[in-house]
């Protein structure tokens, strides 16, 4: 693996860690209703676990209510069961055609719990980024040992990997801070 491939691979893997954090943060409740709250819920649909967003249109009405319109009306009971068994903390109301989820305001204690969860997820993302950094540095050392690059090129690659690490950790910190602020607002 040459230096350019190492850097591209490292950047790609760090970007994936940030994308995973983004999707995880979308599923954390704030005081507002967003379709992202139900994205992570999977429904048993004809024997396979299917994400709600693949089975229904999910919209927000009046800022405090999520409306789920299944493409197949026979799936309503399965969607209701999946929502009830999730850790979302909301009770679905179904009229046979669609499902309504009223998003209640969060208590202060619940807000703190969600903010703590955001911190945990951000730390997991930072650890993943650091693991990618370690792998990138190992690849650079291996390339130097195999004589595909010089010591100077290896050191330069390690510096670039460290810069990527700082950049992506900064993104993680910014995302976590923004989500915590959003959770703690009324």
The structural domains of the chain, ordered by start, are 3-26+107-184 (1.10.132.20), 36-102 (3.30.1360.40)
Instruction: Please give the helix or strand (H or E) that residue 83 lies within, else none.
Output: helix 76-85
What is the pLDDT tens value at each position of the chain, 186 positions in all? Answer: 889 999 999 999 999 999 999 988 887 777 677 888 887 789 988 889 999 888 999 998 877 889 999 998 888 999 999 988 887 778 899 988 899 988 887 788 888 888 999 999 999 999 999 999 999 999 999 999 998 889 999 999 999 999 999 999 999 999 999 999 988 886
Rounded to whole angstroms, the Cα distance separating 80 from 168 reads 38
pLDDT of residue 129: 97
Q: What is the pLDDT of residue 186?
A: 60
Q: What angle do CA 89, 95, 99 make, to 5 degrees?
A: 40
Cβ proximity of 140 and 158 under 8 Å = yes
- Residues whose CB is less than 8 angstroms from the CB of residue 88 and which lie 6 or more positions away in sequence, other chains included: 29, 37, 38, 41, 101
> What pLDDT does residue 87 have?
75
What is the C-alpha separation between 128 and 169, in angstroms, rounded? 10
CB atoms within 10 A of CB 185: 10
Closest C-alpha among 134, 125, 105, 101 to residue 175: 125
Give me the pLDDT at residue 99, please. Answer: 92
What is residue 22's predicted lDDT score, i.e. its pLDDT?
A: 92
Instruction: Confirm if 45 and 60 have CB atoms less than 8 A apart.
Output: no
> Which is nearest to 64 in space by CA: 103, 34, 11?
103
Quote the pLDDT of residue 5: 93
């Amino acid at each position: 693996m040459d230096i350019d491939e190492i850097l591209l691979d490292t950047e790609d893997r760090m970007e994936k860690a940030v994308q995973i954090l983004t999707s995880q943060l979308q599923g954390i409740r704030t005081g507002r209703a967003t379709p992202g709250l139900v994205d992570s819920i999977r429904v048993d649909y004809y024997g396979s676990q299917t994400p709600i967003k693949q089975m229904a249109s999910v919209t927000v009405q009046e800022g405090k209510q999520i409306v789920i319109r299944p493409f197949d009306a026979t799936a309503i009971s399965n969607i209701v069961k999946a929502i009830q068994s999730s850790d979302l903390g909301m009770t679905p109301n179904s009229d046979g055609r669609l499902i309504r989820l009223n998003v209640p305001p969060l208590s202060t204690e619940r807000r703190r719990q969600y903010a703590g969860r955001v911190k945990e997820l951000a730390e997991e993302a930072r650890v993943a980024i650091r693991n990618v950094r370690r792998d990138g540095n190992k690849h650079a050392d291996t390339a130097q040992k195999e004589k595909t690059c010089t010591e100077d090129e290896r050191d330069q690659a390690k510096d670039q990997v460290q810069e990527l690490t700082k950049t992506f950790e900064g993104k993680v910190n910014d995302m976590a801070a923004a989500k915590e602020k959003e959770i703690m607002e009324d």
